[in-house]
Amino acid sequence: MTYVQNVTGGPNSALALRGLTKRFDDKVAVAGVDLDVPTGSFFGLLGPNGAGKTTSLSMAVGLLRPDAGHAYVLGHDVWSDPVEAKRRLGALPDSARMFDRLSGSELLAYTGLLRGLPQDVVNARAAELLEVLGLADAGRTLVVDYSAGMKKKIGLACALLHAPRLLVLDEPFEAVDPVSGALIRDILIRYVRNGGTVVFSSHVMAVVEKLCTHIAILADGQIKIVGTTDEVRGGRELEDVFVDIVGGRVSTGAELSWL
Amino acid sequence: MAVTGGSDAPIPQPRPGADSGPLWPDMGTAHPDTAHPAAVGVPAPRPAPPDAPTLRPHEPIATGRPRISYFVRLKLRILGNSLRPGRSHPADSARKRFGRHSRLILFILGALFGLWAAFGGFAAFAASSLATGHLRPTVAAFAGAAVVLAWVFVPLLFFGVDETLDPARFALLPVPRRTLIGGMLAAAFVGIPPTVTLLATLGSVIGAAYDGGLAPAIVAVLGAVVGIGVCVAASRAVTSAFARMLRSRRVRDLAALLIALLGISCNPLFQLVFALVQRGESRQATLVGEVLSWTPLAAPYVAYVDAIDGNWALVPVRLLIGVAGIVLLLWWWQQTIESAMIGSAAGPGANRRAATGEAPVRAFIPRVVRFLPAGRFTALLSREMRYWLRDPRRRASLISLLAASVVIPFAFTFGANGGRSGTPGLSEHALVFSLMFAGAFVGLVLVNQFGNDGTAYALHMLTEVPGQVELAARAVAVGVLAFPLLLVGTVAASILSGHAAELPAAVGVGLCAFGISVGAAGITSVLAPYPMPESTNPFAMNSGRGGAKGLLSFVSMFSTWILTAPVAAAFALLPDGLTWVVLPIGLAWGSAIAWVGTRIAGNLLQRRAPEVLAAVTPKRA
């Protein structure tokens, strides 16, 4: 991975999670997650459906109140010092809708003003982001009428607008066509090269294997394995490691015979 | 849908052995390569064990015929599931345990409120059915028409319809259209409002039995049953038709205009009712009552009067008029429901490609607020204003609001003044008191302001928008959009009714009620937000939550009126020359309450933002 620079761990993590726990009624969704995302890393959070990826990331960015535990963005506690933490953080929540009855440029202007950026900065960055992400052609089309890939791209643009030091992306490659996916990948790689840190969740092995410097696998609300990509793989295919860790059943051929 | 969630109760299941064909008729031929999967590059599955069931590709798959009762059971099941508390955990605090039952508690409160309303309605209908002989047909006709019209307008203007069973969910199921309509109608009877209405209208049995005996009493029961059918069918057909119009970008402005016109056209009816209340009969009222009693609006409710009078030939005619009305309404509903099942009538929406060439920030902020410094408040205000005009659900409630804010001053002023009898009291001050209602309605559209945004609110949390700025901007946006029209309506009503001198006082009371309702709605919206269904129908409400919404609106409305009452009382007590004082007093008092409410709600929001977001996230349950 040629674009890795200045990877540091420990207390200088870009994102540090300590004992995050969340329970919905009687179901424990996240059972004590500890995680250090080194500054300058491209960090993939893997896990099967229902493993608690979205729940963990929602707590990490301050959208979901944890039952216990802390989340720190570059040393600032997300829950007790939210203003400083969120200033350094850009997030693309998968479960949240956007204000999608605005056009792309309106949504960027709105986000920028809410972030407290000066008007001329918002104008310049919004125009550039729309151009680079290929959304300038959409003109005044409302985001609600965008395709899935365009929605991810405008969401990413909103997360990038204030030039955060940490990006937390929930399923950024979900339902995105290969062309948009490649564009998003290029932008993220450039961002990491310039010293930013990216954490993203996914269950697409190929993307994670190709992009990430670090990987954590989450299952049943707990981190099962974490390390650099090579450490986690241990010389095997990532998919095999994943299935081994997560477990699960394999089709025997006897069921669904009526199909 | 959650109804299928692991339970052994009888969920509608396709039953084997009935006569309809397979769901995918050419299922067998669609996969000609089943025997040789490798031929098309599909990896070969492992060989099946010898005891595996054999493949029978031509076995019919979807068999059985859906029944209307399935829809009723489905609705009852969804209602039951929505009231069921979440499972508890030993570590839960007592408060949290209690909170799990909040939906059930709200439902019970709603049911009690409904029972109270049913008793009141029953008494009113019983009293009207005991009216003196020559007045009875008119009173019965007006009462019946009022009930049906309420069923048409209340969902349209205020509360929405209970769309627990979203027709779009049935689009992929092989349900014949007739069964679907029948089932949806049958399911629509399940709920508190239809029960309340039926119980209330049964009040006429008292008069029928007292003055006519057993047979007219039976006719009264039949009339009430047919009548509730007209009510439910009418509310469904009308909301569905308007929902379709509002979905279509081409005619949605026409729909807006139609709703407003319909609201305004209720005006003469108001006047007649007021006249009837004030002076007993009038020739006009008798005539209108006579006409109404030959339409589905009132015919079923008048049948028992004919029975008492011995006109037995007319009884089946009246009831049949009602039934014919139901059939026609169902036919209309069927026409519009198809578009709801297909989804958006206008397709994926017109692309508005032409870019303006303006800088993004400038293009985003509407012209009327460009004089403000471009910052958080202006951004929120601009987004809110755009949303009131663009979001179908908000559009619908804004239109209703505007219709109401024009109708209310007119209805009160001219209704109370209808006979020009010049009775002091209500009629004299009607304009001013009407603004108490109109102003409060404007603020109360904010009662679930976070539910309207849904999970999009996450952006405000990620950007740490201060709670007070957020609430203030939302309130100002509604005010900016609604007040000009309300002002026009008030000025017109005051001049036309000859009470122009009361205009300052009226505006003062209106602004005061608006400010107070903003404060009340702000607190309610933070403390009790609830999710809105993700439906294409802007009038849709979740089951059970309809009652909750009504309750919250009532609580906010009553507190608003109680707090506005001193200002209105001051107006009534002041000598005529000094009523203008109400304008500054009302403005000051309203602003003060709005400020206090927004401060309290803003502080609450600052602490409760994650809980608000969780509460407005649509549950899969």
- Report CB contact under 8 Å: A96, B363: no
Report the pLDDT value the prediction gives residue A83, as an integer from 0 to 100. Answer: 92
pLDDT of residue B423: 41
Nearest residue, CB atoms, B375 vs list A23, A82, A113 = A113
Q: How far is Cα B569 from Cα B505, in angstroms, rounded to an integer? A: 11
Contact B572, B429 (CB under 8 A): yes
pLDDT band at B425 (very low <50, low <70, confident <90, very high): very low
Q: Is B351 on the interface with A (CB under 8 A)?
A: yes
Quote the minimal CA–CA distance from A156 to chain B in Å. 13
User: Taking CB atoms and an 8 Å limit, are A254 and B87 in contact across chains?
Assistant: no
Distance CA A74, CA B102 (A): 40
Cβ(B334)–Cβ(B315) under 8 Å? no
- In this prediction, residues B507-515 reach a mean pLDDT of 91
Contact between residue B185 and residue B327 where contact means Cβ atoms under 8 Å apart? no
Closest CA to B512 of B455, B461, B456, B581: B581
Which pLDDT band holds residue B474 (cuts at 50, 70, 90)?
Answer: very high
Q: Mean pLDDT score of chain B, rounded to an integer? A: 77
pLDDT at B442 exceeding the cut of 90: no
Q: Which helix (H) or strand (E) holds B541?
A: strand B540-541
Q: Which of A181-185, B92-96, B210-214 has the highest mean pLDDT?
A: A181-185
Chain A / chain B CB contacts < 8 angstroms: 160
Q: How many CB atoms lie within 10 A of CB B342?
A: 13
- Give B548: exposed, middle or buried? Use CB within 10 Å, 0-12, 13-18, 19+: buried
CA distance A11 to B423: 80
Helix H, strand E, coil C: the string for chain A is CCCCCCCECHHHCCEEEEEEEEEECCEEEEEEEEEEECECCEEEEECCCCCCHHHHHHHHHCCCCCCEEEEEECCEECCCCHHHHHHCEEEECCCCCCCCCCEHHHHHHHHHHHCCCCHHHHHHHHHHHHHHCCCHHHCCCEHHHCCHHHHHHHHHHHHHCCCCCEEEEECCCCCCCHHHHHHHHHHHHHHHHCCCEEEEEECCHHHHHHHCCEEEEEECCEEEEEEEHHHHHCCCCHHHHHHHHHCCCCCCCCCCCCC
pLDDT score of A89: 94
CB–CB contact A252 B49 (8 Å): yes
Tell me the shortest Cα–Cα distance from B389 to chain A, in angstroms. Answer: 10
Give residue B325's Cα distance to chain centre. Answer: 22
Question: What is the SS3 assignment for B530?
Answer: coil
Express as a percent the part of chain B with pLDDT over 90.
22
Q: Who wins on pLDDT, A57 or B80?
A: A57
Q: Which of B431, B408, B606 is nearest to B507 (CA)?
A: B431
Which tens digit of pLDDT belongs to each residue from B252-293?
A: 666 666 766 666 666 666 666 666 666 665 677 788 888 888
Task: State which amino acid sits at residue A214.
Answer: H
* Interatomic CA distance for residues B439 and A118, integer angstroms: 37
Contacts 24+ apart (CB under 8 A), B251-254: B252/B392, B252/B395
Task: Check residue B330 and give its pLDDT.
Answer: 92
Q: What is this model's ipTM?
A: 0.91
- Which of A150-164, B14-28, B93-107, B245-259 shows the lowest per-residue confidence on average (mean pLDDT)? B14-28
Interchain proximity A89–B45, CB inside 8 Å: no
Q: What per-residue confidence (pLDDT) applies to B268?
A: 64
Q: For the whole model, what pTM was predicted?
A: 0.75
Cβ atoms of B457 and B450 within 8 Å: the answer is: yes
Dihedral of CA atoms B534, B537, B541, B542 in degrees, nearest 10, equals -40
Tokens at B141, concatenated: 């006709």
Model pLDDT, residue B291: 87
pLDDT for position B53 = 54
The highest-confidence range among B150-159, B243-252, B317-326, by mean pLDDT, is B317-326
Which band of pLDDT confidence, cut at 50, 70 and 90, is reported for residue B594? very high
Whether residue B610 and residue A126 make contact (CB cut-off 8 A), yes or no, is no
Contacts of A153 (CB under 8 A, 6+ apart): A133, A134, A135, A180, A183, A184
Residues B373, B369: Cα–Cα separation, whole Å? 9
Evaluate if residue B113 carries a pLDDT over 60: yes
| H-run or E-run covering B409 | helix B392-417
- Predicted confidence at residue A2, as pLDDT, reads 35
- Whether B34 has a pLDDT exceeding 60, the answer reads no
**Nearest CA-CA partner of B113 in B559, B546, B449:** B546
Number of neighbouring beta carbons within 10 Å of residue B496: 12
Angle at B231 between CA B226 and CA B234, to 5 degrees: 120
Q: Among A63, A123, A142, select the one facing B458 at the smallest CB separation.
A: A63
Q: How far apart are CA B482 and CA B265, in angstroms?
A: 21
Please say whether the beta carbons of B299 and B319 come within 8 A.
yes
Which residue blocks in B155-251 are alpha helix, DSSP H? 177-188, 192-201, 204-212, 214-247
Q: Given CA atoms B124, B129, B133, B134 in this order, what sign does their dihedral have? A: positive
CA distance B536 to B398: 17
Q: How confident is the model at residue B550 (pLDDT cuts 50, 70, 90)?
A: low
Name which of B59, B364, B386 to mutate to probe chain A: the one with the most chain A Cβ atoms within 10 A of its Cβ: B364
Which pair of tokens denotes residue B609?
């933002």
Which helix (H) or strand (E) segment holds residue B540: the answer is strand B540-541
Token pair for B575: 């000598």
Strand ranges across the sheet with A68-73: A27-37, A15-24, A68-73, A76-77
B86 to chain A: closest CA residue: A25
DSSP-assigned letter for residue B445: G
pLDDT value for B429: 72
Q: Is the pLDDT confidence value at B390 over 80?
A: yes
Q: Is B89 in Cβ contact with A139 (below 8 Å)?
A: no
What are the per-10-residue average pLDDT scores of chain A (259 residues)? 40 86 88 92 91 92 93 92 93 88 93 94 94 87 88 93 94 87 92 94 87 93 92 89 80 72
- Give the C-alpha separation, B334 to B183, whole Å: 12
Q: How far apart are alpha carbons B514 and B567 in whole angstroms? A: 13
pLDDT at B49: 54
pLDDT at B496 over 90: no
Q: Residue A13: what residue type?
A: S
Say which residue the tokens 């709920």 belong to. Answer: B191
The reported pLDDT for the residue numbered B421 is 42
Which of A90-94, A202-206, B539-543, B586-590 shows the lowest per-residue confidence on average (mean pLDDT)? Answer: B539-543
CA distance B481 to chain A (A): 18
With CB atoms and an 8 Å threshold, state whether B353 touches A89: no
What is the maximum alpha-carbon separation in chain B? 100
**Mean pLDDT value of segment B94-105:** 72
Does the pLDDT of residue B20 top 60, yes or no?
no
d(CA B288, CA B292): 6
Q: 3-state DSSP call for residue B34?
A: coil
For B59, name the nearest residue in chain A, comparing CA atoms only.
A258
Amino acid at position B429, single letter: H
Which residue from A minimizes the CA distance to B357?
A: A139
Closest to A85 measured CA to CA, from B457, B463, B376: B463
**Residue of B386, B469, B481, B410 whose CA lies nearest to B443:** B481
Q: Are strands A197-202 and A214-219 parallel, antiparallel or unpaired?
A: unpaired
Q: How many residues does chain A have?
A: 259
Largest CA distance in chain A: 65
Chain segment B145-158, per-residue pLDDT in tens: 889 988 887 777 66
Burial class (CB in 10 A: 0-12, 13-18, 19+), B220: buried
Q: Which of residues 390-409 of B touch A (CB under 8 A)?
A: 390-391
Which class for A39: exposed (0-12), middle (13-18), buried (19 or more C-beta within 10 A)? buried
Helix (H) or strand (E) holding B161: strand B161-162
